[in-house]
Amino acid sequence: MTGELSPIDKAKFAAARRAAELVEDGMRVGLGTGSTAAWLVRCLGDAMREDGLRIRGVPTSTRTAELARQAGIPVIGLDEARWLDITIDGADEFDGDLNLIKGGGGALLHEKVVATASDRMVVIADIGKEVETLGAFPLPVEVIPFAWQTTRALVEETLISMDVLGRDVSLRMDGEAAFVTDEGNYILDLHLKRIGEPRQLAMVLNQIPGVVENGLFIDICDTVVIGFGDGRVEVRDLGSGTVERESFDPGEPDNLFRDIND
């Protein structure tokens, strides 16, 4: 399918194409989940066909694994890869310290495992994902199905003592049934509005019985590649403190991933 991209899709594609340039021949690459990460998969597939790039990909979801195979990227598991050179993934929110909220696509557990098993974690996002304070996007928390309502009650009780503005907790649904992750778990979405102490909240949530993992990614992201609707790209590196700005025309690629949501 070919056609003019919307500004948001153009921003995502611009960020993905710039991030793909960070991938070098022979790398083991963590492949994220979501619409922006799907653009990355397509860009890497193009580089393999057109430029001879040789990589192996470790997907963070069954969806991404399928997209990677379609793009011609060899797919392996993390245990086979053992350690990754780079992971590139999207984010639902990121702040000035490159702390993230992830999990809007339901793959937060695999995403966090893969990201922390990498030498470098790069986030690709459109400029609309940048926030001053995390929390406007609902925070996903993956929980086991057994007694999930009890776990929700424990989460709600815990939030009373946390520095947040909202405390509503909802079970994520997929139509009439509960959404189920690749690990067979449920997701609770925490509508917090503002998270004053994300590091503390992440630690406390993971101490609750029944909670598998939460969508706060603290001190994991090293670099963020931000795309703009006019094709501009900004690369911020936390370690070096550098900011690079570039401008290019991303063109009008076949948009194969319009149905993939972050």
- Those residues whose C-beta lies under 8 Å from the C-beta of residue 112, and which sit 6 or more positions away, are 102, 213, 217, 220
How far is it, in rounded angstroms, from Cα 168 to Cα 65? 33
Cβ–Cβ < 8 Å for 107, 155: no
Amino acid at 83: W
Q: Which strand (E) or helix (H) includes residue 62?
A: helix 62-71
What is the number of other CB atoms lying within 10 angstroms of the CB of residue 215? 29
Running DSSP on this structure, what letter comes out for residue 4?
Answer: P
Residue pair 151/210 in contact (Cβ under 8 Å)? The answer is yes
Could you tell me if 59 and 65 are in contact, meaning their C-beta atoms sit under 8 angstroms apart? yes
Beta strands in 53-206 (DSSP E): 56-59, 86-89, 93-94, 100-101, 121-126, 139-143, 168-171, 173-174, 177-178, 186-191
- Per annotation, catalytic residue among 93, 111, 142, 213: 111
The answer to whether residue 111 is catalytic is yes
CA pair distance 169, 161, nearest whole angstrom: 15
CB 1 within 8 A of CB 56: no
**Active-site annotation, residues:** 111
